[in-house]
Structure formats: structure tokens, C-alpha cells
Amino acid sequence: MTSGTDTEAAPETPAEIPHFRFFELEVLRTRRLGHSFLRITFGGADLAGFRSGGCDQSLSLFLPPAGREHTVLPSTGEDTWFGDWRGMPDEERPVMRSYTVREQRRTAAGVDEVDIDFVLHGSSSPASAWAGRAVTGRRIMAIGPAVAENKSVRFQPPAGTDAFLLYADETALPAAAAILDRLPAGTPVRAWFEVPHEDDRLYLRAPDGADVTWVVREPGTGAERTDRVLEVLRAAERPAAGAPYAWIAGESATIRAVRRHFVQDCGVDRRSVRFTGYWRLGASEEELLAEAYAGRAPDEDPTAAL
């Protein structure tokens, strides 16, 4: 039956593909990288649909509480998981933490793998404690990217960028290392990486000519640590560039100070500075999560006030 009009019906618009979904990850192997770093390689059939789209691709891991081998969630539905997860008893609720994909690959045998690097800093951190005892076969859940172009990729240099400036502490080093892997050959790169121990100075793949400075942390308060970083940055020779792009991540107070230095002292356009607070001195991970739930996370807009 026709409608009596010559106008053709508009084609149906396909449903938008969700950018993120749940994945089950299985521990394949672990490898110690340095004093503070442990790499865990995950596999599993779900990874065939995993689409790590960028240099600092993040995902949310759900780690089982102490005494549990695998992550168990009451639901993974888009509209139900959060409320169901929050409603679990404290002793049963998996710990949710954000991490960066260090590398995703498909092996010659056709196996999909994802590397995630953990910072080990004792058993007081649930994520550090879990990583330190992870063994092959353990399974966790994660919310990760189902499409490559997604909002969790923050490293977005504009067209015409002619130099890169990077700063990261140990929590952001895996993301910074992934960025170095992918930077275009021949582009000037100046990077400063702050780590807690001498043997955390890792071998990193980088473009030829990249200038990497390791800042080994000295004991002290937050202000003294930030001053130490700024002292090293101010003494450094920066690449001559007309349109540099800066990526800064780590402890919140330090990255704010580094951002001010790049913009006010080095003349980098604030719109070309991407800054992300991975943690804050004096605040627990649970407090930061509560702030995120309440919409009080730090402003990462490049145009935000200094």
C-alpha cells in the first residue's frame, strides 16, 4: 500500500555505535619493568572488539577485592551497571581505576593482546596490591573503547604542530611512552619524566633526536617536588618552534605549575597544551572518584584559566 505521495521515505539512520563497552580481560603474563613498574599483558576473546584509538587511550578497570580471584559484576548493561556496582556491599565491590593502554596488538598466531603498565607502591593501593599478585588466568572486567575515535584519547595535536613538549610523572609515564612510540619522525621532541627511583628510568622507543630528561624524585613535600621539576624545566633548552604542542599529566598541583611555565615562560599557546591530573597529593583514590561522580573533577579544558 502506498501513501499517495511521490516523496520517498527517508532511510533509517543506523543506531549510533557506543564508544565504550565492557570487556573481559584475562591475565596472560606479567613482566617487571623497573623498581616501580609492572607490565600485565591481557588477552581474551573480547579483545577482538577492542579498539585502542590513540596514544593516551584510557580505560576503566574493575579489580576484584582481596581474596577474590576474578571480577564479578552484577550487571554490565549500559543503563544498569553503575547503580548495581555502587549498590554492592563494600567487601564485594570491585575497585574501579583508570589506566592507560600501553600497547594493543595482534600476534602472528592471531591472538589479541593489550599491555597495561601498573605502578607498584605497596599494598595500601588496591590496584597496586592486585597487580603485585596477578597471575596467569585471572580475569577482570574493563570498560574500554569499542571505536577508535573516542573521547578518552586526549592527545590531539592540531594540524601544523612543529614540536612536542611532554611532561609526565610515573603515573602518566605509560601514556607518555605510548605517545613517544607514535610521534612522527623528524619532529623535535623534548620530554621530562619524573620517577621515584633511579632504576625506573626505562628504555623508551622514541623518534630519532628526541631529547628525554629523567627527573629522579627527591624526598620532600609537594611544593618542593614541584619546585624541583620546574628547576629542571627552566634550565632546559627547548626546541625552536613556531607551533609547539604540550602534553602534561601527573600529580595535579605539579601539572598546573608546568602548564603555567609552558604558557607564561615559554610562550606556548594555551590552546595547544593538554593537561590531565592523574592524582592529587593528599587525596585518596576514593576521594578523587567521589569528586568525579559529583562532577567536581579538575578542568582540563586547554582554554581554562591558569
1 vs 141, higher pLDDT? 141
Q: How far apart are the first and last CA of the chain?
A: 65
Residue 13 grid cell = 539512520
| Residue at grid coordinates 633526536 | 209
Of the listed ranges 100-109, 112-121, 157-166, 237-246, the one predicted with least confidence: 237-246
Report the side by side order of strands in the sheet with 189-195: 211-216, 189-195, 163-168, 244-251, 273-279
Read off the pLDDT of each residue in 120-142 and give the average, rounded to a whole number.
Answer: 92
pLDDT surpassing 80 at residue 300: no
Q: What percent of the chain has pLDDT over 90?
A: 70
Per the structure, the complete domain to which residue 53 belongs is given by 20-145
pLDDT surpassing 80 at residue 294: no
My answer on whether 110 and 185 are in the same domain is: no
My answer on whether 35 and 66 are in the same domain is: yes
Residue 40, domain member (yes or no): yes
Say what the pLDDT of residue 30 is.
98
pLDDT, one tens digit per residue, over 256-292 is 999 999 999 999 999 999 999 888 775 556 665 666 6
Question: 170 Cβ partners below 8 Å, 6+ apart?
Answer: 36, 37, 119, 194, 195, 196, 200, 250
Nearest to 150 by CA among 263, 20, 61, 48: 20
Tell me the DSSP string of the chain. ---S-SPPPPPPPPPPPPSEEEEEEEEEEEEE-SSSEEEEEEE-GGGGG----STT-EEEEEEPPTT-SS---S---TTTHHHHHHTS-TTTPPEEEEEE--EEEE-TTS-EEEEEEEE---TTSHHHHHHHT--TT-EEEEEEESSSS-TT----PPTT--EEEEEE-TTTHHHHHHHHHHSPTTS-EEEEEEESSGGG-------TT-EEEEEE--SS-HHHHHHHHHHHHHHSPPPP-SSEEEEEEEEHHHHHHHHHIIIIIT---GGGEEEEEEE-TT--HHHHHHHHHTT-PPP--TTS--
My answer on whether 182 and 85 are in the same domain is: no
CATH number (domain holding residue 96): 2.40.30.10
pLDDT surpassing 60 at residue 7: no
Residue 8, domain member (yes or no): no
Distance CA 264, CA 257 (A): 10
Residue 117, domain member (yes or no): yes
My answer on whether 167 and 286 are in the same domain is: yes
My answer on whether 186 and 135 are in the same domain is: no
299 vs 164, higher pLDDT? 164
Contact between 279 and 265 under an 8 Å Cβ cutoff? The reply is: no
Residue 73, domain member (yes or no): yes
pLDDT band at 219, cuts 50/70/90? Answer: confident
pTM of the model: 0.87
pLDDT band at 133, cuts 50/70/90? Answer: very high
Say what the pLDDT of residue 283 is.
57
My answer on whether 192 and 234 are in the same domain is: yes
Say what the pLDDT of residue 192 is.
97
Read off the pLDDT of each residue in 87-96 and give the average, rounded to a whole number.
Answer: 94
Read off the pLDDT of each residue in 127-149 and give the average, rounded to a whole number.
Answer: 95
Q: Can you say whether the dihedral through the CA atoms of 249, 254, 258, 260 is positive or negative? A: positive
Read off the pLDDT of each residue in 157-163 and give the average, rounded to a whole number.
Answer: 93
pLDDT surpassing 50 at residue 14: no
Q: Which of 87, 112, 145 is the last residue of a domain?
A: 145
Q: How far apart, in Å, are the Cα atoms of 122 and each of 13, 35, 130, 153, 183?
A: 51, 12, 10, 29, 33
* Number of structural domains the chain divides into: 2
Q: Which of 99, 114, 145 is the last residue of a domain?
A: 145
Distance CA 230, CA 261 (A): 8
pLDDT surpassing 50 at residue 121: yes
